[in-house]
Structure 1
Amino acid sequence: MNVVFEHAGEFGEGILRTLQLAGSSFAGAAVVAIVIVCCRVAPVRPLRAFGTAYVELFQNIPLLVWIILFVFGLPEIGIQFDLITTAVIAIALYQGAYYAEALRTGINTVASGQAEAARALGLGFRQSLAQVILPQALRSVIQPLGNLTIMLLMNTALAAAAGVVELAASASRVNNVESDPIVIFTAAGVAYGLLALLISTVFGVLERRLVIHR
């Protein structure tokens, strides 16, 4: 384990970069998910078609492909970001499709009478969705959203393909110097496990406090 302590700085920087990627991607994916799920349940057919096409497109192409396409493809059309921002955009757009599906499942659990009551009170589609349906849907799918957030955390390792030095890339660099893969990558795996446990704990607390029992 001495090799881990000797390179604690590199591991620490990798963990911080992983947290930066995960936090920024989560925020972006949440916005994308809300937009897409609103399209998917909208009474306008073109919007529903767009939402469905978005989910199918992003769920059926691996994230690594999207990252590489964004890194090398966007500059070709005159759009260029730094590597971290590019990775965050790719992860957020990809993960947003999964969050959107989880939210749509939550919307399906909301009793139809809730929407009817909202309409009876004079609320339009956007108002009833924002004030009545989405809040209940979110509270119904807290645990699935937690699982997807753990998935997002693990997906940040693919940012190494864009040249971002996060936890997995930091471990690889240390291994190139020390040639002790079992210890180094075990330490990285433990770090990922602890971060996943933290996410699971946070969402578990949220679920116990906010879940709607039907």
Structure 2
Amino acid sequence: MQVIIDNLPLYLNGLVRTLSICLYSGVLALVLGIIAAGFRVSPLPPLRATGTSWVNVLRNCPLTVVLFFMAFGLPELGINGSYFWFGTIGLALYTSAFVCEAIRSGINAVPAGQAEAARAVGLTFGQSLSLVVLPQAIRTVIPPLGNVFIAMIKNSAIVGAFGVGGDLFAAGDTLTSARGLAVLPVLTGVVLGYLVITIPAGLLLGGIERKVAIAR
């Protein structure tokens, strides 16, 4: 514990950096996942094909390959930027495929009569999806979405391995490699940092799930 206490500022900075990665990635993944889910259930074949391809490619591609492409492939194409944004966007793209499938499962759980009633009163597909179907679907997708986002938080450690800098992974690497401290206490601090993020996130999602269940 003394190692953690002595290097607490470094751990706190890593915690804040990791939270930034997770926040930006989570928001972007949620937006992209909702759009892809809309494509997946669209009546237009080109949109369905686009959504299906998006999910199949990203879900079946290892996260490390996605991050390698973002960090080293994009600069080869003339697209330059910081590793922080490359890693964050790569994590968001990868996570969006799982978000899409979680939301699509919720959409499919909504009775078909709801969408038919929406169309009967003159709503377009986009309106019926956003105003009628999605508000009902979100109640059933909170548990799987919670699992997806918890997994995303843990996957942020892989993003740190690509040289983002300043995150919890980098903090552990600095203490063991640059300062030569013992690995076990250093990694204990890193694990505690991730638990500080994941446990409150799980409790928050559990609270939201209970509130939604009461509102049904």
Matches within 5 A, 1:45-194: 45-165=45-165, 166-176=167-177, 177-194=179-196
Q: Distance in 2 between matches of 1:211 and 1:174?
A: 45
Q: Give distance in 1, aligned partners of 2:112 and 2:41.
A: 13
Q: Distance between the aligned counterparts of 1:33 and 1:67, measured in 2? A: 18
Displacement after TM superposition at 1:213 (Å):
8.0
Does 124-133 or 67-76 show the bigger shift? 67-76
Q: Take 1:207 and 1:143, find their aligned partners in 2: how far apart are those partners?
A: 7
TM-score (norm 1): 0.96
Q: CA deviation at 1:212?
A: 7.2
AA aligned to 1:50 is T
Deviation at 1:45, TM superposition (A): 0.7
Q: Which amino acid aligns with 2:126?
A: R
Aligned equivalents of 2:12 and 2:110: distance in 1? 43
Pick aligned residue for 1:206 from 200, 205, 208: 208
Q: TM-score, normalised by structure 2?
A: 0.95
Supply the AA of the counterpart residue of 2:59: Q
Cα distance, 1:139 vs structure 2: 1.5
How many Å separate the matches in 1 of 2:207 and 2:74?
40
Q: CA deviation at 1:80?
A: 1.4
CA contact (8 A) 1:64 1:161 kept: no
Deviations 1:8-61 (A, max 9, x none): 111111100000000000010011101100110000111111111110100111
Q: Which runs of 5+ in 2 are unaligned?
A: none
Q: Name the CA shift for 1:79/1:144 in 2 (closer, same or farther; >3 Å).
A: same
| Worse-matched range after superposition: 184-193 or 150-159 | 184-193
Q: What do you get for the CA RMSD once the two structures are aligned?
A: 1.3
- Displacement, 1:211? 3.2
CA–CA distance in structure 1, aligned partners of residues 102 and 176 of structure 2: 38
Cα distance 1:50–1:96, how it changes in 2: closer, same or farther (>3 A)?
same
